[in-house]
Amino acid sequence: MMSDRKILICCGTGCLANGSKKVEQAFIAELKNRNADIAVEPYIKCTGCNGLCEKGPIVKFEPEDIAYYHVTPEDVPEIVEKTIIGGEEIKRLLYYDTKAKMHVRSHKDSEFMKRQTKIALRNIGEIDPNAIEDYLATGGYQALRKAIFEMSGNEIIEEIKKSGLRGRGGGGFPTGRKWEACKEIERTPKYIICNGDEGDPGAFMDRSIMEGDPHTVLEGMIIAAVALNVQNGYFYIRDEYGLALENMHKAIADAKLHNYLGSNILGTGHSFDVEIVRGGGAFVCGESSALMASIEGRVGEPRAKYIRSSEFGLWGQPTVLNNVETWANVPVIIMKGSGWFNSIGTETSKGTKVFSLVGKVKNTGLVEIPMGVTLRELVFDIGGGTIKKEFKAIQTGGPSGGCLPKELLDLPVDFDNLEAAGSMMGSGGMIVTDERTCMVEFARYYVAFLAEESCGKCVSCREGIRQMHKILSDICEGRGQEGDLELLESLSETIMEASLCALGKTAPNPVLSTIRYFRDEYLEHIRDKRCRAGVCKELTEFYIDADACTGCGLCKKVCAPAAITGEMKKSHVIDREKCIKCGNCIDICNFKAVKVR
């Protein structure tokens, strides 16, 4: 019975934090205790992230195709007894689909999973990232064999061009054109770089791919090296990504042992080796020229882009730089063909995109969707909708992204549509907000982050973003004045025009998009000294509507300073002198009795 079985335990960063390694050890111990002669380790695999991070640890069972969530070591004896031996489901551990309102046996049948199309994430959650044998069993390195033995360098580049693959790191530049431009430069040596420093601290797409399927990234880079006749490459990975660093080191070592990397690859005469450079976590080093400066041992500062990296990149030599997700798409395109990839997505944005869906949404985690899926499908079908309060806006593109209101929920997600709406694809972060989000404070928060992360090279970026932060802080604290919005818009224009790199050029996006779509909320802060979301404490006063209050007492229980009084089943009252405006009462009230004035 055990010979065909696989127990797949998610050991992505989120599940590890929730104790998945302890769950693994509990399975090993329990199975050994029940049959001391059986070697259980081959049947238990630690995989990469399954996507539904807040529901971890996640354990999947094959061939039964059962997935359990929030598994603890204490659950293991029951799982072994009922599921592994008895073949029964344990209902309380199954995924509960909030949209379908039912428990789901297979993770593939949930609304969260079945609406996704996985290309970059195709193996993650299904294989052991530290076992090259698992990657080979999925067809790994077959694309490299095809590229080396059946295609010329120009044919490889042409296939990438025809696929329509655009860089997934934010800029969306056509990947094939970038490779072609580098190929046309005769100077050598040339370099290939994988940008594993996604920049956005709230996103984790690239990190999860490096953790869960490192060989697919490596294979994509090797294919490019063959096409461009490059012998040296670099991974730039931020030092905080310990698991990604560990798994990439292991993948590189195993690829060399199997002759997919190093000298004389597969006996063809091609040679390519890679080195990992650890970054310090500076946001600006997500920008290509700053990243290259960091690899060279210099301060991570951007330079002017009048000469592209494909001509003058690392150490002044022709260089191709793509991010992790872009590289992960390359082997699939080579194996399945450009026509297959080109058939997915929209006219100008082909393939899929991985997003980190977080915020006030029921199903948070990693999702991979075809380009062209609407924001509504993403938030309400895949994400399951907002947790409690009404949807307000979604920010796309990370800290430098824009905020799009509910009126744009039917906007198809692709590079051009997001940019036209005042946002961007960016690193792939998506933050869902609800009516308890103050859009002025939301913009202020991200501007504060960007001010801190500016390298300081450009006066427009260094000083301009600080001034925007000061104006936004004044508005949030009740010191806003007429003309502040016009000043913010003018500052934004200057910062975008005069800054060298994408950090400065996109930093005003959170401000401009919130002014564009939530101008009335800014004016309330400035003219009425009121924050409708109840977030800006200087502009907020909570009260309880006596007609709506049922006297359930929930607000009273969560009020830390005991500012709420009242008897059960009778309307309650907030003492304004004691109230610290934490908002716990309005968040927990099920009857919308707690209000803001």
pLDDT at position 24? 94
The CATH number of the domain holding residue 20 is 3.40.30.10
Tell me the longest C-alpha to C-alpha distance in the chain. Answer: 83
pLDDT at position 23? 96
What's the structural domain count of the chain? 5
Amino acid at 466: R
The residue from 86, 114, 142 where one domain ends is 114
Residues 94 and 219 in one domain: no
Rg (CA), the chain: 26
Asked whether residue 404 is assigned to any structural domain, the reply reads: yes
CA 275, 281, 283: angle at the middle one, nearest 5?
A: 115
Residues 473 and 418 in one domain: no
- Rounded Cα gap, residues 75 and 69, in angstroms: 11
pLDDT at position 58? 95
Give the pLDDT confidence of 541-578 residue by residue, as tens digits: 999 999 999 999 999 999 999 999 999 999 999 999 99
Asked whether residue 126 is assigned to any structural domain, the reply reads: no
The CATH number of the domain holding residue 522 is 1.20.1440.230
pLDDT at position 2? 43
Asked whether residue 396 is assigned to any structural domain, the reply reads: yes
Residues 256 and 199 in one domain: yes
Q: Judge whether 22 and 249 are in contact, CB under 8 Å.
A: no
Residues 87 and 234 in one domain: no
- Residue 1 pLDDT > 50, yes or no? no
Confidence of residue 199 (pLDDT cuts 50, 70, 90): low
Asked whether residue 551 is assigned to any structural domain, the reply reads: yes
The CATH number of the domain holding residue 422 is 3.10.20.600
The residue from 377, 408, 434 where one domain ends is 434
The residue from 300, 322, 342 where one domain ends is 342
Residues 210 and 317 in one domain: yes
pLDDT at position 42? 61
For the chain, the average pLDDT equals 92
Give the pLDDT confidence of 70-121 residue by residue, as tens digits: 999 999 999 998 998 888 899 999 998 877 788 999 988 888 888 899 999 9
The CATH number of the domain holding residue 551 is 3.30.70.20
The CATH number of the domain holding residue 178 is 3.40.50.11540
| For residues 14-34, average pLDDT | 91
pLDDT at position 40? 55
Give the pLDDT confidence of 209-254 residue by residue, as tens digits: 999 999 999 999 999 999 999 999 999 998 888 899 999 999 999 9
Asked whether residue 420 is assigned to any structural domain, the reply reads: yes
- Residue 478 pLDDT > 70, yes or no? yes
Residues 331 and 413 in one domain: no
Residues 469 and 451 in one domain: yes
Region of poorest pLDDT, from 118-127, 139-148, 267-276, 423-432 = 423-432
Asked whether residue 225 is assigned to any structural domain, the reply reads: yes
- Rounded Cα gap, residues 188 and 210, in angstroms: 29
Q: What tokens appear for 396 in the block?
A: 């796309």
Residues 159 and 232 in one domain: yes
- 457's CB contacts (< 8 A; 6+ apart) are 301, 302, 500
What percent of the chain stands above pLDDT 90? 77
Cβ neighbours, 10 Å, residue 42: 11
pLDDT at position 331? 98
Domain that holds residue 85: 2-114
Asked whether residue 124 is assigned to any structural domain, the reply reads: no
Residues 313 and 212 in one domain: yes
Q: What tokens appear for 58 in the block?
A: 């996640």
Residues 222 and 267 in one domain: yes
Q: Judge whether 16 and 58 are in contact, CB under 8 Å.
A: no
Residues 474 and 443 in one domain: yes
Q: Between 41 and 245, whose confidence is greater? A: 245
Give the pLDDT confidence of 527-542 residue by residue, as tens digits: 999 999 999 999 999 9
Residues 551 and 512 in one domain: no
Confidence of residue 36 (pLDDT cuts 50, 70, 90): very low
Asked whether residue 536 is assigned to any structural domain, the reply reads: no
- Residue 510 pLDDT > 50, yes or no? yes
